[in-house]
A and B are shown apart, each in its own frame.
Chain A
């Protein structure tokens, strides 16, 4: 599992997010299109791509994209 690849897949869940503007340290709630619906897309993407089950608490306690990446990596 590779961080840049995860960031790209994370960005794909948004309608208009600019992948070049995102980094591991990006606070995902600050991305303009972030919503609770996008959170569902993220959960779906992680399940599909990595076979890892994220729960609501995982998203809620995370700040950056890397925080979520680390959770997924620890459960792979």
Chain B
């Protein structure tokens, strides 16, 4: 059973950065539904989108802001974890580049994690575990998605965002409790098939083929089996929350907020109703920012909770699920965290 409990670590602050540029959904590529039906179903009216910023750029700006707001010195950071599916280069790891760009000391642990929608939860588990012995004191978890590797028309569902979660060793802090799951048999449910070492980039990778009626994709562009992902999300996400609650004897009524990966409003509402959670405990950022992959959980905390979390302890459960297929759920406490104002670039 893939459970984990991590002690003596707390989340000290969270920040997020998005492009200023707002893209409003006014038309759809599909031939079988219109934009109003798309918005009613997914909840995505608009999102932030720019061709100017990579994932690491957006995370970099969010990190500068958070370290300034927290008053953390650059020499204080012992570890940096960067979660993205759009690294700056195929090699080296972008976390190494960010260590230098942020001016962090060379005595720094740096790691890239290639995960999407579940990525923040996985990154959090890695960062928290690193700090839990107290040998490393402070870590930055960067998670986000910026511009894609190859040019694609802006996707209706997905937006750009970079986030940073600051963690530190804090003796006696209430523990993080995790549950994880993986179903690699559905690896092609969300995939960019070409450009890796399995299907090397070739001339064929640039040929646009009709993958479903009216929808064309090149091999180097991402594609999604929407029905499979939907079916996966409405079953695995609530199950993971229930399993976590059962394992750690958590009463869901005592949780203040449930932050789900912002996949698609209809899907998220199914999850909320299955768990019988009241609307006011389940904030959504998807209407204004779209599905922002690994950034969606911290972005929702920054834009929808923000100062609500000030001067008190709040109990949260966050659940990420998607590409992999991969999912993870975490129960944690925020104790008067510093939530930076949204950075727009």
Contact = CB atoms under 8 A, between A and B. Distances in A.
A59 interface: yes
Contact of B231 (A34, A37, A55): A55
Interface residues of A, number: 17
A53 B41 contact: no
B33 interface: yes
Nearest to B234: A47
Interface residues of B, number: 20
Nearest to B33: A35
A76 to B, nearest CB: 15
Contacts, number: 53
| Chain B interface helix/strand/loop/mixed | helix
Contacts of A57: 228
Contacts of B41: 37, 40
Interface string B83-102: 00000000000000000000
B227 interface: yes
B106 interface: no
Interface string A28-72: 000000111101110110011000011111010000000000000
Contact of A44 (B33, B37, B212, B230): B230
A37 B33 contact: yes
B311 to A, nearest CB: 39
A40 B226 contact: yes
Nearest to B212: A36
A40 B235 contact: no
Contacts of A47: 231, 234-235, 270
B32 A36 contact: yes
Interface in B263-290: 266-267, 270, 273-274
A43 B231 contact: yes
Contacts of B5: none
A36 B270 contact: no
Contacts of A37: 33, 37-38, 41
Nearest to B189: A56
| Chain A interface helix/strand/loop/mixed | helix
B32 A54 contact: no
B177 to A, nearest CB: 26
Interface string B28-42: 001011000110010
Given A43-B230, A56-B227, A36 B235 contact: no
Contacts of B74: none
A36 B33 contact: yes
Nearest to A60: B227
A56 B225 contact: yes
Contacts of A41: 266
Contacts of A44: 230, 234, 266-267, 270
B37 A59 contact: no
Contact of A53 (B32, B235, B270): B235
Interface of A: 34-37, 39-41, 43-44, 47-48, 53-57, 59
Given A37-B38, A44-B230, A55-B228, 9 more contacts: A35-B32, A35-B33, A37-B37, A39-B227, A41-B266, A43-B231, A44-B234, A48-B273, A56-B227
The 4 closest A-B pairs by CB, nearest first: A56-B227, A35-B32, A35-B33, A56-B228
26 contacts: A34-B32, A35-B32, A35-B33, A35-B37, A36-B30, A36-B32, A36-B33, A36-B227, A37-B33, A37-B37, A37-B38, A40-B41, A40-B226, A43-B234, A44-B234, A44-B266, A44-B270, A47-B231, A47-B234, A47-B235, A48-B270, A55-B231, A56-B226, A56-B227, A56-B231, A57-B228
